[in-house]
Structure formats: structure tokens, C-alpha cells
Structure 1
């Protein structure tokens, strides 16, 4: 006999009517043992299955049936079961009675996966060996092969109720156990009957598992006609659910006052709302060694610590603590639908460099300065060209008016030097550029230029200078009126270029950056280090050597708490008192800045224990909470206190200080430096060249320079 999924039968070759597209059988043969002769002979199990399956099909939305049996119970499906039930698709898996279902073979595993892929929501498991059933349930729960929220029909077996399996019945709650009672010999009314029981959910199992009777099946009918698969999560009857939480703003906010503490936050409000609707009492507690383990991670022995450890070990029913909707968390727990999406980024130090010396050039961008410089050079050249044209025109007129060309040329030279025509302003290229630059600085010309072309150009150029200067002054006024501009890190590329050490909580965060597909993320992963204390991380950020990774709301909280003198700093001081870091004085610390670019936007959910039956209904209520806008309202409430404490450092924004005038002093220093160099150059030229000239006479300097100009 071959166990598991072996062949796919079509209606022509199978022994049953074709009820749907998925029919999987093995080549195992039915084996009627002496122990079950009476049961199979009367077909009691077949009849009750017919009633159960038809009742499920009528009252519930059944997608398909999953039959799992062994050769002993295979003949239950050889009779009229499929002819007398509604046409619903099914998948049948037959396993050998000796197969270890905690590690099933390939055919069985593929058949179970096919059931899960097809979305079958009713499981009928008929295995004579109760140990096989327990191992199948454990395997299906551990690897999520079985849909624990489906409806289950199982044979009653005391081995299913062992204490090692109690955790299963906190996850599989829609289950009916069939317990067969034989006919009492010698009694006319002693017909065979079935006792139908289920798990006592939501009542916790305390020590001994005592199933709760649902109905009795006898004479081909149900005695009480109670709903066998009623939703047990609608009303949890004030049962106490263990809720583990982690203080992490804004999801969970713990406000301490003297010896008492008040717990608030988005997830606390969501929990209270769902608790009222589902009628349960949440019991909040924190895991051991919270400050060290926090969310927790896998230990060397394979167990988990912290908040995740409470969920994996089954100690808690619900987990609150800003759980990210990631494959890592989904593998260990069940997560609700995301109620929000958070921006995860870095907390970085401000003012890594000071740009106050650039105050004079900040009003205009680079391309604007290039345009101003080009206009200055071009306009100065045009002024010079018009002046030279006017001077040549005067020479041409004098050539035709006078006969003595030599005398006229001497006269023209004197006119060029004579300031009356006004052309000396732009007669030389250097003077033309300087006077054009002077007009740009709104400095009036010493004399109006001669020539209408130059006068018209001067007028329009003055309009250009006025507009440009007004724009510059307005921008400069705004810069000086605002606080000193700070240099911040706002992109991942800037963070990589800054060479800062990056850090955050947990090895999974480091792995996230190391597995990044882009080079920038991988570079961050190379210098990423894990750190448990966020306030110690904030102190290192303030020293300008670190960048801390978390969601933007939590980064806002730790930055405000650290710098605001009205907040309780006791926790921060206790967390850093044992640090071996060489902490500098507060005067050397920098302001904290939250990087504006998000590294990733991560959905945030509430955690339930693995395969929790509470998740479907909780998701329904959570979706309604999000749709009406309560989450956004609770977020604003949680962050309101933090935002009000985030006071600005400069209350008077128009206050002038010396630091804002660094640019002016830099420009003045450059001017002094260049003037000093020119002065030194002139002195060197005077002493080394002029004084050593044989014709130099310090008592007749006018004659010396006159003779020198005539030679030139």
C-alpha cells in the first residue's frame, strides 16, 4: 500500500460520483478490523458524517472538504456518503497506519499543501491511532500546513487531550469530537449513538482537559439541534486574556507618576475597543528583563526572549509594542491587519559644518550668481565699446575739420585725458568694469557720461541694478531674520558620506540593511551596530558620532525628552550611568535632527499568538476603527504632549547676533588681505624698480613721470 497522495481519479475511474474538481486518493485498500466490525457494519459513522456535512453545507460557506483517513476507516467512504451529500469539492488523503505524521512523507505533505492551497475550510480526520492525529495536528500547527481556523471533525480519543496538546485547543476551537457508544445488548431502546463535544473555549484549560458536550446524535438525528460550529470569539464571556506590552511611543505610552503608572497609546486604545466588542478582560504585563531584551530575539538554545518569547512560548494571547508587519514577525506570531504605516529613518546630529561664512552668497543660487557675473562682464564690455566708438568718432570729425593732423592728434589726446567729455569713465576696460560694478552696488557715477548711447544704456542698466539689489536685499533680510541655517543630513547618501556610525535595535535590522539591493544600504549595513538603549544612542548622536534608526515618532520622543528641561531625565541618567563611553560636556553636544527622507515605510500591527482564533474578528473591528479615523485621532493624542514640549531654541527669530555676520567679516577679511598684498606689491615696485631708475629724481617727480609718459 502506498500512503499519501498517489493518484488523481476522474469520475469514470473512481468509485464515487464526481463532486468537484479536486479528488485525491491513494492506492490503499480498506481494512475492516475486528475491533470496528460492528461500527462499519451499521454504517453509523457514515450516517453521522452525512448529516454533519450536509448541515455544514447548508449553514456555512463551505469551499471544499478535506478528508484525512487511514486504511481502517477508508471503507466509510465506499458507500453512499458522497451520493447523499451536497456536491462540494473535496480532497482526500489516505495515510498508512504506521506513518509518522510529525514528519510526513512527500505524498502526504503534497496532499496537505494542496488542501491549504485550495482553501478547504472543513477537515474530517478519521485516524484509528490517536497518536497519529496528535502528531498531525502538531505538525500542521508548527508549519502552518493545516488551517487552524477551519472547522474540524475528529474521532474522540483521550490521547488528544494530553496536557502537551492543550496549546493546540487554544488555536483549533471550531472542532467537534465524535465519541461512539455501542448498542446495549438485551435492551430494545439501547441503540448505538454518538456524543458530540468540543473544546471549552473561551474558558481556559486548567490542568485537565474536559470537553464540553454540544449535541447527541441518535436515530439519524440530532437531539438538541444546537449549532455545532458557532463562532466562539464573538463573546468571550469576560475571560482574562494575557496581554504583553512594550513601552514604545506612540503605540504604547507609559506615563509614570510617583509609584503609579498609566498606560496609554494607540494600541492600548485599540485593545480597549476590541475588548469591549469581544467581551474579554485584558491583563497587561511586561516580559522579564525588559530593558535588555525588549522585543526579543532567538537565543543560542533556540528559544526566544523578550516580547516575542512570551508569544512563542504561549504565555500571552496578545502583544502590543509597535510590531512591524514583516516576514520575520509573521513566522513567529499572527499579526492583525496593519492599522498604520510608519516612516522609519535615522536620528542624526545637526550642524556638522558651519555655513555662516556663506551668508553673503546665500541669497542667490549658483546659476543666479553666474548670470549676474556674466551680465557684469558683458555690460562693462559694452560700455567700453561704446566709449571707444565715441572717442574714435571725435577723432574722425577733428581730422576733417583741421588740416594739421599732428596737432589735432595731440589735441585729441588731451581731450581723452580731459574729464569734460565724461568718456574717461569707460575709456579703459578696467575702469569700465569697475564703474559698472559700482552701479551694481548702487554707487552713483562721479559724472554723467558723454554720448547719448552711453546715457541710455546707463539708465536701463540702473533699472536692472535696482531690481537686482532689491531682490538681494530682501533675500538677505529674510536670511538674517531667520535662525542661523543648520546643516543637516536628510538623505541616505548624505548619511553614507558623513561617515557616521549607524545603529538600531536588533540583529534583524542590521540584516535588513546588509541584504539591501542598493550599494548605499549595504554600506550602512557594514557599519551598522546593534544598541539596546535608545537614550544612550541619542547621547552618542548628540556628540556627532552616531545615527540611530527607528520610527520618526519615537525619534521625536527621545529627542524632545532629551533636550527639554521640564521632562523627567531620571531614566536617561540611569541608562547612561554605567556606560564606559567618554561622554563630553553638554556644551559640546549638537542638536538632534530627524532625517526627512524615509528609509522605508513599514506597516504596524497588533500581535496575536500563532494561529490565534481571535485574529479574524479582531481584524474586522480593527478595520472599522481605522476607517472611522480613530487611529489618527489617537496618534495625535499620543504625540500632543511631545509636540507641545518641542519648544524652539530661538523664541525671537529676528534677533541679530555676531554669528549671522560671519559672511560680512569673511568678505572684509578677503578685502583686507588683497589690499595688503597690493600694497606690498606697490612698495616692492617703488623700492626695487622706480627708485633704481637713473632718471629718478625724488624732488621733481612730476617731470620724471611726464618724461616717462611721453616715452610710452
Structure 2
């Protein structure tokens, strides 16, 4: 047996005063080169059901460094049982490594059978006296090495299995004492507890004739059932699937009075089942009660919320552009108006300077009669007399004013007119006259190209919005959910604890009003009433929405066929559409449950990893959802794009705003005319204008 230790890097030794002589200096000298030892000495008065802090620290260190074997040599079998119970309950012992214990009948008490379903790599050493005497020598003892009968089930009596006999420094058979027992489970039957929870497991009724339905009347399928089938073939075991009591209400289960658990959690805690199916979350509250396989999928946990809590059809005219796009259009409008105004003012200043220069030149002609200036400015008047030259120059400088060559400047020379005509160009309304000045004309041309692109984009987007169904007002973020003032809830204390203990302030805010709902059908009905948001994975929520749609359609058909059938509100009304939030509250890993400290977990994980890498789990998830997608119901409004007054309400809102503003401005003008303008001393009631009296 000493040679078998060479394959281990760390060994934990728990012994007492009676067996401490075995682990002497020579013992450790034999292995010090390649094995690390953690030694725990137990006094005869130590209560190992609640060991001292030093013992717990040593066990924690053994777990941390990954010791592969525990050698427990305690003469007091009661102490040993209490130590094993403590280590298994609080996971202070790694039950999947190798154990060497002294045989004691108290270790096989019926209350400890659960231990030997979890600690299976164990060897019990039972000492016997020698059957013969050598001359002049003491009796030669021999040792029987036995183990638990895993994978065979332990029924009323635990019958240990003999491995080998050790005598005179050698084994009789040379049997592998720690043979891997989970490779082949020898066609044993495992109990599988589950309930219908998409996409892991779903159930179909296969026996329609039975009045009292049992688990045999249902057929379970889904992604986790397919995983179970594959692993059962690889590990050679059979299985029986059943549902716990009130599975549709209890779901996973919950903690009740006196720490009693219900649902599949209760079945696993009380070791009634070996494996649990049902989208178990990879979270500490569940890990404390059972073992979980490696996650085979990551599910989006979010809320299903009612649609159209508020109607945004009145915003139809602003929906084609996003808020940043509208901001860009308004900024361009403001900058363009300012540019037109300042360029027009520049042209007005140039016109003023020309007129001023004209006056100076005419005065110079009349006073000085200088021919040089005249010839410089007007070469064509070289042979004219001075009076004719004056008339010609007057015509030249007065021509813009008299014939209106710069009359186009009035379009943009005043601030309000500039803004009005710039806005009208953005709406593709023609200007009354092409503006004067080449800089204004060039800017106008490019601004028209810009306006053309904006208007075409707006028209196309608006046409698409009007051609589509009525815009859906949905809740897609947690902040929007909080602002909606909807009540929130989901299954169990686990989900509520997640929201209440979250560090994210938004999630924590939802946790303040999070309700526990154990009936998914009732929760979805509350969501449809527009008063609730239900928390679950997206697969489950899709199925719940489809089930409600099918139920609603069936009720509506029944109402149409029966004239006297009426709804709760005495009318047959349209059902509210439900929407699954786009943002995930959390992407949760999901796993298959195993009994706490289950010995088959490493082998189970290996096979799950194999099918995951092969891409089979994705296929099984798609197959589980295909039936739901095939029966999904669409309303008429979703399938037909028709124009309605609800869509056109945006235009009516704009028209009403125009009427209101016009009425307010008209009222202001009347008030100003009656209380300000008419009270002017120079007001003439006949001409209805201000007339200045001549002095």
C-alpha cells in the first residue's frame, strides 16, 4: 500500500494517539522527496462534528492545495463518523478523492448510507488475527480491504465489497484498490426529477384516456433531456423521470417552514433524486444545496413587459430622424440663416459705399470740372461735355436703385425674413426672386442641394413609417422599466435576493419592489393587463407569450361563435401585445443538477463538454424552440400595413399646434392694437394709422 502513495503529490493524514506511532520519522523520510503531507492530530475528547479552528484551517489548506488522498486512522468510530459528516456537509472534505479508513461497524449505520453514495473511492482496513503460529514467533495478522458497493444501490442493508487481502507484506490478488467506478454504472437506474421549463425540459401528454394523470402519462423532451440521453449511453445507466408535487406552482422549489424545501430542490436535498433537470442557475444559493454540472448554455434573463403603455403616434412627423439628426438639421438651419443674413448685409454695405462714392464724384465734376476723373471712370464719355458726363454718371449710379438690380437683397437683409426664406428653402419652397450678389447665389445653390438631400431622406423615412404598422412603444432598458412604474416580479427568493443585493443601483432599485410569483400563467396575465413585468429567461418568456396568444385566439373564436359569450368587460377586446426587453439583466449560466458531492460529476462534466464542443446542444435548443415558433400567432395589425387616423395623428397634432399659435399671435396683435397702438396721441381713427402733425 505504501507503493501506491507514490502517485500522489499531497496526502492528508488524520490520526489519534493510538495510531500516531505509524507515522514516525521513517515514514515521512520514505516519501519526503515527492509527497507533501498535511497531518492532523485528534485528541480523544475532540468533537469532530464541530472541530477546532486549527483542524478546520488544516482541512481548508488541504482543499486549497488539492490533496488527492485522506488517510483517516481513528480508533473511535463515532469520532470518525462525526468527522465525515462535518466534512461532507460543509465541503471541507473533497469527497471525490481517495480515502483510507479503519473498519468500524458504526461507519455503516443506516443514517450514514448517504455518505457512501458520495464517498465511493474508499478503502476500509479490517485487521484479523493470524490463523496459525510460527515456532518462536508471534501471530501474523492479516488485513481485509473492503469498499462500498458503488454503483450498486444501497438498499436496507449495506453489504461491503471485498477488494483484496493484505498479509506478510503483499496483496493476495493485486487488485486495483481505487478503480475508477464512474466509467461504467452497470445499467443502474437513476432517479431524475424535473418540471416543464423551456428550453431545458418540456412535457407532452401521451395518455389522453387516463383520468388521473401520473408521471407515466407524460413524455419529457428538451435540450436537457437530450443531454441526459447522451450521457446515459456513455456512462451506461438507465433513468426514470418524474415531477415533484405541485411542480407547476413550486417550479424549482423554495425554502419553507423549519428549513424544509419543496420542488426539485427539496427532492435533491433529501436525496430522493440523483439528477435534477430544469434550467438550474449557476449561482451560490443552488450550489450550496447541490452540485451543478459545467454550464451547457448561457441564457438571457430579462423582463417581459406590456407594449403601448403610451401612444407615440402623435410624434409621427419627428420619428423619421433621430434626436441627433434633428439637432444637426436645426444647427444647419441656424448657421445658414446667419450666413445669408451677413452676406446680404455685406452687399447692402457695398451698395451704400457705391452711392456714397457717386455723390462724391458728381460733386467733384460740378465743382472742379476735371476731365481726368471722368475719363477714368467712364471712358465712353471721352468726347462729351461736362453736363452730359454728369447725366451719364448719375444714370450709372442711380440705375441699381431705380431699376431694382439689388432688390433681391431684401430677401435676407432683415433677420426675420432671412430665417423665413431659409426655412422655406429647406421645405423646397421657391424664392420669389433670385437673390442679388454672386456670393448669395452660390450659397443658395449649395443650400438647395443640402435641402434636397434632407427632404428626400425625410420623405423616404416618413413613407416607410406610414407604411409600417403602428409604432410599438416598448420598454427595452432597466431605466425605462423603472420610469414606467410597473410592478416587477419573478420566481423565488433567489431572484429577489439577486436584485436586492446587486451593486448596480438600477438593479437594486428594482429589487425594492420585486415580488415573488409562483404561477407563470398568472404573471403573464398581469403583464397583459399592463400592470406587471415578469422576470425569466427569454426562451421561457417566448413560450409564455405564445401560450397566451393561443389562449386568447381560442377565447375570441369561442366568443364569435357564441352570441351570448362576453368578456369580463362585456366586450370582446383586443389583447395587449407583450414585449421582451432587448437588454438582458444578466446572462446567466445554466447547468444540470447533481446530488451534493456526487461522485459522477467529473465524468458527467466530461461528456457534457464533449457534446457542447460538437455543437449538439445548440441544435437541441433550436429543436426545443421550433414547436413554439411554429404556433406563434400574429395579429392583423402586425401583418397588414394600412393607413389609419392613429398613424396620421402626428399631422393633426402639427396642424393643431399651428392653429393654436396663430390664434395666440392674432390675439396678441388685437390686444396690442387696442391697448397700445390706438392710445397713441397721433393715432388717426379714420386712416387707422399714426399721423405726425406738421409743425
Q: What interval of TM-score do these two structures reach, taking the shorter chain for normalisation?
A: 0.7 to 0.9
Alpha-carbon distance in 2 for matches of 1:553, 1:469: 42
2:286 is aligned with 1:329: yes
Aligned partners of 1:151 and 1:175 also within 8 Å: yes
- 1:7 aligns with none
Question: Please, which of 355, 377, 394 is the counterpart of residue 337 of structure 2?
Answer: 377
2:38 is aligned with 1:91: yes
- Partner of 1:374, secondary structure, is helix
Q: Name which of structure 1's ranges 671-680 and 619-628 shifts more when overlaid on structure 2.
A: 671-680
- 1:348 aligns with 305
2:227 is aligned with 1:273: no
Aligned partners of 2:86 and 2:92 also within 8 Å: yes
- 2:159 aligns with 210
Alpha-carbon distance in 1 for matches of 2:277, 2:555: 25
Question: Please, which of 171, 181, 203 is the counterpart of residue 254 of structure 1?
Answer: 203
- Partner of 1:341, secondary structure, is strand
Alpha-carbon distance in 1 for matches of 2:632, 2:692: 73
Alpha-carbon distance in 2 for matches of 1:634, 1:241: 22
Unaligned segments of structure 1, at least 5 residues: 1-51, 571-581
Aligned partners of 1:562 and 1:569 also within 8 Å: no
- 1:502 aligns with 488
- TM alignment of 1:508-657, pairs within 5 A: 508-564=494-550, 587=573, 590-646=576-632, 648-649=634-635, 650=637, 652=639, 654-657=641-644
Residue 394 of structure 1 and its aligned partner are, at CA, apart by 7.7
- Partner of 1:359, secondary structure, is helix
Alpha-carbon distance in 2 for matches of 1:196, 1:567: 69
Residue 423 of structure 1 and its aligned partner are, at CA, apart by 5.1
Alpha-carbon distance in 2 for matches of 1:290, 1:390: 90
Residue 238 of structure 1 and its aligned partner are, at CA, apart by 0.6
Question: Please, which of 659, 665, 668 is the counterpart of residue 672 of structure 1?
Answer: 659
- TM alignment of 1:226-305, pairs within 5 A: 226-256=175-205, 259=208, 260-305=217-262
- Partner of 1:164, secondary structure, is helix
2:63 is aligned with 1:116: yes
Aligned partners of 2:147 and 2:162 also within 8 Å: yes
Cα 1:453–1:133, aligned 2, differ >3 Å: closer, same or farther?
Answer: closer
Alpha-carbon distance in 2 for matches of 1:661, 1:709: 53
Question: Please, which of 300, 315, 321 is the counterpart of residue 272 of structure 2?
Answer: 315
Cα 1:585–1:384, aligned 2, differ >3 Å: closer, same or farther?
Answer: farther
Cα 1:694–1:78, aligned 2, differ >3 Å: closer, same or farther?
Answer: closer
Cα 1:220–1:685, aligned 2, differ >3 Å: closer, same or farther?
Answer: closer
- Partner of 1:128, secondary structure, is coil
If asked which structure has higher relative contact order (CA below 8 Å, sep 6+), I would say 2
2:636 is aligned with 1:659: no
Residue 380 of structure 1 and its aligned partner are, at CA, apart by 4.9
- 1:578 aligns with none
Aligned partners of 2:195 and 2:248 also within 8 Å: no
- 1:171 aligns with 118
Cα 1:258–1:419, aligned 2, differ >3 Å: closer, same or farther?
Answer: farther
Residue 414 of structure 1 and its aligned partner are, at CA, apart by 13
- Partner of 1:301, secondary structure, is helix
Aligned partners of 2:205 and 2:218 also within 8 Å: yes
Question: Please, which of 37, 51, 70 is the counterpart of residue 16 of structure 2?
Answer: 70
2:182 is aligned with 1:225: no
Deviation per residue, 1:309-336 (Å, 9 max, x gap): 1111111111111111111111111111
- TM alignment of 1:464-503, pairs within 5 A: 464-503=450-489
Deviation per residue, 1:462-492 (Å, 9 max, x gap): 3332222222222222332333332322222
2:69 is aligned with 1:126: no
Residue 686 of structure 1 and its aligned partner are, at CA, apart by 7.4
Cα 1:584–1:268, aligned 2, differ >3 Å: closer, same or farther?
Answer: farther
Aligned partners of 2:340 and 2:440 also within 8 Å: no
Alpha-carbon distance in 2 for matches of 1:612, 1:299: 25
Residue 281 of structure 1 and its aligned partner are, at CA, apart by 0.5
Alpha-carbon distance in 2 for matches of 1:467, 1:637: 47
Alpha-carbon distance in 1 for matches of 2:488, 2:641: 36
Unaligned segments of structure 2, at least 5 residues: 209-216, 367-393, 557-567
Cα 1:162–1:303, aligned 2, differ >3 Å: closer, same or farther?
Answer: same
Q: Name which of structure 1's ranges 186-195 and 375-384 shifts more when overlaid on structure 2.
A: 186-195
Q: Name which of structure 1's ranges 383-392 and 394-403 shifts more when overlaid on structure 2.
A: 394-403
- Partner of 1:353, secondary structure, is coil
Aligned partners of 1:352 and 1:544 also within 8 Å: yes
Residue 651 of structure 1 and its aligned partner are, at CA, apart by 5.2
Alpha-carbon distance in 2 for matches of 1:303, 1:339: 29
Cα 1:424–1:279, aligned 2, differ >3 Å: closer, same or farther?
Answer: same
- Partner of 1:231, secondary structure, is coil
Residue 140 of structure 1 and its aligned partner are, at CA, apart by 1.3
- Partner of 2:220, secondary structure, is strand
Question: Number of aligned pairs?
Answer: 637
Alpha-carbon distance in 2 for matches of 1:679, 1:78: 110
Alpha-carbon distance in 2 for matches of 1:385, 1:210: 109
Residue 396 of structure 1 and its aligned partner are, at CA, apart by 4.8
Alpha-carbon distance in 1 for matches of 2:692, 2:416: 19
- 1:140 aligns with 87
Alpha-carbon distance in 1 for matches of 2:477, 2:347: 53
Q: Name which of structure 1's ranges 587-596 and 285-294 shifts more when overlaid on structure 2.
A: 587-596
Aligned partners of 1:390 and 1:451 also within 8 Å: no
Cα 1:566–1:630, aligned 2, differ >3 Å: closer, same or farther?
Answer: farther
Aligned partners of 2:102 and 2:125 also within 8 Å: yes
Deviation per residue, 1:614-651 (Å, 9 max, x gap): 10111111111211211222122222233344455445
Cα 1:62–1:710, aligned 2, differ >3 Å: closer, same or farther?
Answer: farther
Cα 1:356–1:183, aligned 2, differ >3 Å: closer, same or farther?
Answer: same
Aligned partners of 1:134 and 1:159 also within 8 Å: yes
- 2:428 aligns with 442
Cα 1:457–1:83, aligned 2, differ >3 Å: closer, same or farther?
Answer: closer
RMSD between aligned residues: 3.6
Cα 1:568–1:607, aligned 2, differ >3 Å: closer, same or farther?
Answer: farther
Cα 1:82–1:430, aligned 2, differ >3 Å: closer, same or farther?
Answer: closer
Residue 685 of structure 1 and its aligned partner are, at CA, apart by 6.9
Aligned partners of 1:54 and 1:86 also within 8 Å: no
Question: Please, which of 174, 182, 187 is the counterpart of residue 129 of structure 2?
Answer: 182
Residue 356 of structure 1 and its aligned partner are, at CA, apart by 1.9
Aligned partners of 1:197 and 1:211 also within 8 Å: yes
* TM-score with structure 2 setting the length: 0.82
Cα 1:387–1:204, aligned 2, differ >3 Å: closer, same or farther?
Answer: same
Cα 1:415–1:115, aligned 2, differ >3 Å: closer, same or farther?
Answer: closer
Cα 1:689–1:168, aligned 2, differ >3 Å: closer, same or farther?
Answer: closer
Cα 1:654–1:299, aligned 2, differ >3 Å: closer, same or farther?
Answer: closer
Alpha-carbon distance in 2 for matches of 1:524, 1:244: 32
Cα 1:449–1:298, aligned 2, differ >3 Å: closer, same or farther?
Answer: closer
Q: Name which of structure 1's ranges 199-208 and 411-420 shifts more when overlaid on structure 2.
A: 411-420
- Partner of 2:294, secondary structure, is coil
- TM alignment of 1:378-417, pairs within 5 A: 378-382=338-342, 384-385=344-345, 388-389=348-349, 392=352, 396=356
Alpha-carbon distance in 2 for matches of 1:633, 1:225: 47
